[in-house]
Chain A
């Protein structure tokens, strides 16, 4: 079992994530945590100085974080995007596709189960934030 998963080549960011309110107040923070009811677009003016954005999943049924992640990636954010909280292996694939590249689940995950989950679907129907080619692209080039 592992407590955290990370799919990045760079070193893990050391600085702790501050709250959104604190971040918008401070000028020098480089890591921020977004709660599930907070607006990811508030971070858009500051993306180039953020190295880590943590998005909260207080309950896995609360799917707002998926939209937050895609919005941040669509705006060009390239730093670490971490899903934290009630994250089960069954959501990891969707989260990766929405642009998450790190996970801090409340309950440890079995890395073998995560690998199985990530490799299970060799095809997808939609273009998302992970750059994977949807079926229509493979069909028509």
Chain B
């Protein structure tokens, strides 16, 4: 699947398109398929997101899992600071990232 991600302009938080707005929870990211380019351009112009881009992700029972490790690290936090990671749905969050 294709999902959209970027950063919040004011805070820099990693965000994902959830169909209506930009969420900090990757598990709520929705398929953007072929309308992604127009969507992110519109959202960026309105400053509801900064630096957005489209990525591949695998659909899983717990929500999308980004295809590239970089975006999984963005979703969860630095692998070397588990204390700073977002609360994982999957207890094996280590293997979700790596």
Classify A-B as touching or not with yes or no (CB < 8 A): no
- Please report B residues at the A interface, Cβ cutoff 8 Å: none
- Please report A residues at the B interface, Cβ cutoff 8 Å: none
